[in-house]
Chain A
Amino acid sequence: MAGLELLSDQGYRLDGRKASELRKVQARMGVFAQADGSAYLEQGNTKALAVVYGPHEIRGSRSRALHDRAVINCQYSMATFSTAERKRRPHGDRKSTEMSLHLKQTFEAAVMTQLFPRSQIDIYVKILQSDGGNYSVCVNAATLAVIDAGIPMRDYVCACTVGFVDETPLADLCYAEESGRVSSLALALLPRGGQIALLQMDARLHQDHLETLIEAAMTACKGVSKVLDEVVRQHLQEASVLTGE
């Protein structure tokens, strides 16, 4: 990757996008009939499959049940063939556990869990192909799956990973950009109210740039929410045509 510029002088990135341009998002809800809710989402070359089971009775130990709201249980895993180098274990490693906790935190903020006391909602996300922005694609796919399952949410949850290169924020990073020397920030947003559900950054960034970066992330997330809204309405229209309404 040495010698490849992440942002050229004319303002083009490695894959030809402009700095604030998102990758192409394609999604479909109701992919699997057996699960309560399922969705498949592609953002550029990253593909994720999300499946939701619930709300149902708590599985395993009853002591985990909360008396006033539902427990959200998430699992993030990657297919062994999803990355360029074959991954030995699909889940159970530190990174997957950390991602699962992030997903749980994100959805606890959005799902109206107080409507289902003493029950459990399972959200399982699988990455089929990994090309950067894994967390964001998972959150977007899981939002659609939760909507497909009919579980009430406060708002869509949209996520995006942004990076900062040459004083410019880049929206929706791909793998080549993420692995370069880019300070990347992952943000999950509830677009209508502008509430941030999760904010994560593991790189060095000057304090003055933080606000610009967050602003860019929020704009990107709002862009994603428009696409997700379109997908949901399309799905609903198809379903109502089939039932003859």
Chain B
Amino acid sequence: MVCQDDLRVDGRGCEDYRHMEIETDVVSNTDGSAKVTLGHTAVLVGIKAEIGKPRPMVPDEGYLEFFVDCSANATPEFEGRGGEELGMELSTTLYKVFNNKHSVDLKSLCITAAEHCWVLYVDVLLLQCDGNLYDAISIAIKAALFNTKIPRVHISVDEEGGKEIELSDDPYDCMRLDVTNVPCIVTLCKVGHRHVVDATLQEKACSVASLIISVTQKGTITCVRKVGGGSLDPESIFEMTEAGKRVGKALHAPLIKLLQQEESLGKKRQKVGFLG
């Protein structure tokens, strides 16, 4: 399956990604959304911002809530409650990777300390599964966070001293999130003696185990996890970590450039969505 000369079944090198398409602002009911297609894997992320109470341990920060919906569209096995297990696994990893103050500036989500804060509900919808879900989801989340427009709030104190929150009427008066520190997840699968990036379902079936690494723009690794039934020796883990760091770091710059380009088109951009 994987030759010594860095060539895979579909002609890619060991560290090459499949054709990726990213589009933001596809769902208008949300505050931010993004659709990512990576080969045959398709993921749709919608972010809704709601006002809630901050967590008691960190009263001056907002937080993110993740929900992954493995829909039956992807495969009939996900019908009914079949996709819940995979959904739980994906969302617990996403919590670890994204919901901390190093990745997203949670302090900017605070409105009034210990009383009100913004809660970002990140909903991931899996439309098609062809391997490498973590990568596609993390890229979609980063794109959706970039696209999120949180309305500005004004806090007014009325006569009895109670606080009233007013959302700004102007739809363009909004706060944007800083996504420079948001990491991207790279999944490396060990197939035979080599490791591959962006494995399809076929390649995953041949792999022993995989390593999930989340890497920021600067090349800092924020989370490492081994998944899969087989076992890996420490040397391969070290090799895979180095490769993951390299690949992950290289993902960020073109992604931000693409997002900024899309944003600069503004209203003139033709929204394609699924119709293209």
Q: Which residues of A contact B (CB under 8 A)?
A: 26-28, 31-35, 38, 40, 42, 45, 47, 49, 51, 53, 59, 73, 75, 77, 79-84, 86, 90-92, 122, 124, 126, 128-130
CB-CB < 8 A to B274: which residues of A? 28, 31, 40, 47, 49
A53 touches B48 (CB 8 A): no
Other 10 A-B pairs with CB < 8 A, given A81-B33, A128-B27: A32-B40, A33-B128, A49-B127, A79-B123, A80-B67, A83-B29, A90-B71, A122-B76, A124-B71, A126-B127
Contacts A31-B274, A32-B128, A129-B28; A77 near B76 (Cβ below 8 A): no
Q: How many A-B residue pairs have CB under 8 A?
A: 96
Q: Is B108 an interface residue (CB 8 A)?
A: no
Residues of B within 8 A of A (CB): 27-30, 33, 40, 42, 44, 46-48, 50, 67, 69, 71-76, 79-81, 121, 123, 125, 127-130, 273-275
Our pick among A47, A59, A81, A129 for the contact of B48 (Cβ within 8 Å) is A81
| Beta-carbon contact of A90 and B29 below 8 Å | no
CA distance A151 to B1 in the complex (A): 36
Given contacts A26-B275, A59-B76, A79-B69, whether A45 and B28 have CB atoms under 8 Å apart is yes
Which chain A residues lie closer than 8 Å to B69 at the CB level? 77, 79-80, 90
29 contacting pairs across A/B (C-beta < 8 A): A26-B275, A32-B42, A32-B73, A32-B128, A34-B40, A34-B129, A35-B73, A47-B273, A49-B73, A49-B127, A51-B72, A59-B76, A75-B80, A77-B71, A79-B27, A80-B46, A80-B69, A80-B125, A81-B29, A81-B30, A82-B27, A83-B29, A90-B69, A90-B71, A122-B76, A122-B79, A124-B73, A128-B44, A129-B27
Are B130 and A86 in touch, CB under 8 angstroms? no
Whether A32 contacts B127 by the Cβ 8 Å rule is yes
With A32-B128, A79-B44, A79-B46: A40-B275 Cβ-Cβ less than 8 Å: yes
CB distance from B131 to the nearest CB of A (A): 11
Inter-chain CA distance A33–B127, complex, in Å, is: 11
A28 near B275 with CB under 8 A, answer: yes
For the complex, give the distance between the alpha carbons of A82 and B33 in Å.
11
Q: Which residue of the partner chain B has the closest CB to A32?
A: B128
**What CA separation (Å) do A29 and B76 show in the bound complex?**
19
Q: In the bound complex, how far is the Cα of B12 from the Cα of A230, in angstroms?
A: 39
Give Cα A124 to B75, complex, Å.
10
Interface centre among A28, A40, A51, A92 (most CB of B within 10 A): A51
Taking the closest CB of chain A, its distance from the CB of B183, in whole angstroms, is 23
The answer to whether A81 touches B123, judged by C-beta atoms less than 8 angstroms apart, is yes
Q: How far is the CA of A126 from the CA of B74 in the complex (A)?
A: 11
C-alpha gap A147/B44 in the complex (Å): 25
Q: Please, how many angstroms separate the alpha-carbon atoms of A34 and B40 in the complex?
A: 7
